[in-house]
């Protein structure tokens, strides 16, 4: 049985990445920050209900999100 939370986390990270790469206006920045927050929450939820193999993939997702979010926050300054 597939982990629904894992799939949601993967999708949330992808949405956040796309938003980070296309953000240009202040309104988009607010929406992007919300997507980053949603992705972090989805990762946390998925981790709690995952197998060891999924946890490794979740850690990769978390690292990817962290790197993109760092880039987003430094561009914002």
Distance CA 33, CA 42 (A): 14
pLDDT for residue 20: 93
Distance CA 77, CA 64 (A): 21
Answer yes or no: are the C-beta atoms of 72 and 59 closer than 8 Å: no
The pTM of this model reads 0.88
For the chain, list residues with pLDDT below 70. 1-2, 76-77
Q: What is the pLDDT of residue 9?
A: 95
């Amino acid at each position: 049985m597939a982990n629904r939370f894992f799939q949601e986390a993967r999708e949330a990270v992808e949405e956040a990445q796309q938003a980070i790469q296309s953000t240009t206006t202040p309104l988009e920045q607010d929406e992007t920050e919300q997507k980053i927050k949603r992705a972090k929450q989805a990762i946390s939820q998925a981790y709690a209900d995952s197998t060891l193999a999924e946890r490794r993939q979740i850690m990769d997702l978390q690292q990817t999100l962290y790197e993109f979010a760092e880039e987003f926050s430094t561009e914002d300054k």
